[in-house]
Amino acid sequence: MTGPHLDPDLLREIAEYPNSFGPLGPKDERIEARRYTLCMGQGTLWNTVQRHRFPAEEVDEVLEEVRALLRARGRGRTQWEIGSAAEPPDLVDLLLQRGLVPDKEAFAIAMVLSQEPPPPPPDVQSRRIQTFEEFVGANEIQLAVFGASEEEAAEQRSLLADRWRESPNIVHAAWRGGTMVSAGRCAPTQHGLLLYGGATRPDARGRGGYRAVVRARWNEAVARGTPALFTQAGEMSLPILERLGFERVGHVHMLLDEFGNKSPFPG
């Protein structure tokens, strides 16, 4: 069953929490607890808490439970992605009161595309990447556009060889005049493709590169028999995605919890 035929609540949940629905790599981990879902990627820096469902009076217990799970794995930080139907409804405020802070990009619109997007300009070519060198180039575009810290960039680069061999995600890119200008990842599911990290070099914006990468991923989804794309749109990508036919289905607040990986208790 593809995206357009899904129950609206499930459609929204997939778009708000794609990491809870995507395939796992051999070094990824996902804990589907009764009150939340905790997703952990390769390395130590990429972690996210999603699909929150607990009463407000349990927020301190859940917060420490999540931190304990991460500390046990040598991780000292996590993002909380809080969707439009999260329980408790005031979870964002409750977590801010407990010291969490808005992430670099603190709010996104959950979106779904279920119709064919327009083609790219004729001078822009897009396709799935084919070599490790192209994979590295796509990663560098994403690191630069999303403003990764030195620590984040170093970890990302150190994991590239493993991810090239093992990741279930797919990377597409767009070229203009023989130069890679845009790139984006996606993950296949039975409902459609989950889109991540669409980025275009600043000196190439406004020339169809981003549109070309979206179209390449749509073609991939159609070829797989699941013609739907799910994504989260920030301030920069939202107007572009709406012009391409994506529809709003929800929203997500992103908070950051940096708590250290040492136990708060002595002994």
In whole angstroms, give the CA distance from residue 5 to residue 9.
11
Q: Which two three-digit tokens encode residue 25?
A: 């790599």
Say what the pLDDT of residue 46 is: 93
Say what the pLDDT of residue 5 is: 65
In whole angstroms, give the CA distance from residue 248 to residue 242.
8
Q: Which DSSP letter does residue 205 get?
A: T
8 Å CB contact between 79 and 6:
no
- Beta strands 229-233 and 247-258: pairing type? unpaired
- Beta strands 101-113 and 47-50: pairing type? unpaired
| pTM recorded for the entire structure | 0.90
Say what the pLDDT of residue 266 is: 41
Give me the residues paired with residue 83 across strands: 252
In whole angstroms, give the CA distance from residue 12 to residue 96.
24
Q: What is the 3-state secondary structure (H, E, C) of 226-263?
A: CCCEEEEECCCCHHHHHHCCCEEEEEEEEEEEECCCCC
Does residue 170 come out as left (phi exceeding 0), alpha (psi in the -120 to 50 range) or beta? Answer: beta
Which ranges of the chain have pLDDT less than 50?
1-4, 265-267
Say what the pLDDT of residue 264 is: 52
